[in-house]
Chain A
Amino acid sequence: MAKPAELASTKELIEKYIRRNGVPSIWCPGCGIGTVVGSMLRAIDHLRLRQEDVVIVTGIGCSGLIYNYLRFDGFHGTHGRALAIATGIKAANPRLHVVVPMGDGDCAAIGGNHFIHAARRNIDLTAIVINNQIYGMTGGQSSPTTVQQSRTSTAPRGHLERPFDVCELAKGAGATYIARGVTSNPIQLADLLERAMAHKGFSVVEVLSQCPVQAGRRAGRSEPWEMLQWLKGVTVSAKRGTDDVSLGKFITGELLKEDAPEWTEEYDKLIAIAGGRS
């Protein structure tokens, strides 16, 4: 995959990939999802993926509406099932680059089983887990990544339960590429997404993102800039070493990359042994 000499401008990306009659978007001002979409488009463009070879599969929630604004083949459907749908698409046509943006609720709660098993299978999909630690669209309920004690509409006295670490979950389940990005650093995010899409196997990029309206408001950070300042404060780059982990910070950057047999390639071998033509 040869790379172009120069990065495409935002205007060029918009003209190529954004469906103009879809905008303006439904997202609240200051939402982090737009930043993730921008970084995703930069990654796709920089990798020079053929537009017709990219499929965007989404689930339900604010992130589930990403496809509304894009020009690819795309899916928006049942809550939590994006990775199972994506598995079928990829198995049917392994040429396709299937990119699966999900929210934390979509991926780690109702879709948790599909998430760990897609990782176990090491099927070549790219999961983007946009983690804003809240169910935004339905009105600010607790999610599996909501931190303890924070207030949500279903935890008015503070959230009792411990949160998932999405990257550790992916690691335990067998994902072969894992990275964590943050919307306060979109350049790093685009780079991580590009590496994830280029990786052969199941790749996961968790993106710490901001929901000023449903999460920030209840945490005294209702301004988007306050949320971004907070995200900067709770994250630290993996390149800086791991000393900050003990302070409870989230490490950003590439966390795992390993080679392992990929499902569709292994299945093609099985077809060859069985005497079929793939």
Chain B
Amino acid sequence: MTGVQSNSHLLLSGNEACAEGAIRAGVRFFAGYPITPSSEIAETMARRLPEVGGKFIQMEDEIGSISAIVGASLAGLKVMDATSGPGLSLKAEGLGLAVMLEVPCVLVNVQRMGPSTGMATLPSQMDVMMSRWGTHGDHPIIVISPCSVRETFELTVKAVNLAERFRSPVILLSDAVVARMREKVVLPGEVEIVNRVRPAVLPEQYRPYAAGPNGVAPMADFGSGYYWYANSSVHDENGYEATSKPEVATRLLQRLHAKIYEHLNELPQGEAFMMDDAEVAVYAYGITARAAKAAVRMARERGLKVGLLRPVTIWPFLSGLVDPYVSGLTALLVPELNMGQLVDKVREVVGGRSKVESLSRYDGQIITPEQILVAVTKIMGR
């Protein structure tokens, strides 16, 4: 892939589409560390960024790379880093830092089979809970998951925009298949761009952690004369140390959550496919959703009323995708490339209104449409 043309047919991998999406969304700094199966994102960024006046740096380790993007974002750039499971474990620290400092940044996690080094080249969806709770302390996080090369491009743009909108880290949760398969795509001529809100007040009046009307505090670039304190310890609205003030800690954590949870309608919900008359829904995301969609079509050919619910935003969990359909369903089937992670959240949200069944695979192989069809058929007693 060289300087990518819009509106022409391209054969891209998910990782290449991710890098191109980042460039188009305005990312101008990428810090990375090599890891399979995400390295092509770093390689593509290393080549592309200087062409648009941006910078790429290969840091000494995974912690260094997420730290560097936090620094570059403080200085005003849109930033990204990419890794896979073992790297995500190390970046947990930096994610919490970005949450607490409220620094916009995108972290791509291309899931591979684990735990530990696991199966480096083979896919999984085993980082679903890690992406939600990987860093310590109560924190909100936005996680979105693409199921195709084209959607990887779109959601990378979206991830950058959401990070800027919410002053928050955003995780793009890909997997080894979506990241490395090649698909024909046509990239759009223009993409929507969102820029962080910068302060409109004088430096003396600036409060870097006081929420504006959109729930988020304006963010000044380091070097613009605002003299603000990016402070990872509990801080007041000015950023100053408040590590022995319970009421300040309460307000801070509540505000960190509210800025996202009070604006859930701004997150991409996902897709409901053939759900209008469905008796059974397959609830699937990422690469597994591709197989699920094929399975739904096969089921429909056999006269089975089966639909697909495909969440794009994984965290926060958006019950709005499920709620309108639950009363008409006898069961939801949740296929995942793990031992059952998001299925627990689906069960919690469905709350007994319908059966919820898990279909697990955790051997580094993908779930096939046939496997899903067999499971659906069994659920429907056919």
Contact = CB atoms under 8 A, between A and B. Distances in A.
Interface of A: 21-22, 51-53, 55, 57, 65, 67-68, 71-78, 81, 84-93, 95-96, 113-114, 116-117, 267, 270-271, 273-278
9 shortest A-B CB distances, which residue pairs? A88-B71, A274-B50, A84-B67, A92-B75, A88-B68, A88-B72, A92-B72, A117-B60, A52-B225
Contacts of A73: 74, 222-223, 226-228, 230
Interface string B213-235: 00000000111111111111100
A75 B74 contact: yes
A84 B68 contact: yes
Nearest to B227: A71
Interface stretch (B51-59, B265-273, B350-358): B51-59
Contact of B53 (A72, A87, A90, A278): A278
Interface string B79-118: 1000000000000011001000100000000000000000
A55 B222 contact: yes
Nearest to B229: A74
Main secondary structure of the interface of A (DSSP, over half): helix
Contact of A92 (B52, B77, B229, B240): B77
B241 interface: yes
B64 interface: yes
Contacts of A78: 67, 93-94, 97, 232
Interface residues of B, number: 48
Point out which of A113, A116, A276 has the most chain B C-beta atoms below 10 A from its C-beta: A276
A270 B60 CA distance: 20
Given A73-B222, A77-B97, A78-B232, 11 more contacts: A22-B240, A51-B227, A65-B241, A68-B240, A74-B228, A78-B94, A81-B64, A84-B67, A92-B76, A271-B53, A276-B52
B63 interface: yes
B97 A93 contact: no
B230 A77 contact: yes
B232 A76 contact: yes
B118 to A, nearest CB: 24
A76 B229 contact: yes
A118 to B, nearest CB: 9
Given A88-B75, A278-B53, A93 B223 contact: yes
Contact of B70 (A88, A93, A95): A88
A81 B63 contact: yes
B50 to A, nearest CB: 4
Contact of B64 (A76, A117, A270, A276): A117
Given A84-B59, A277-B53, A92 B64 contact: no
B31 interface: yes
B222 A76 contact: no
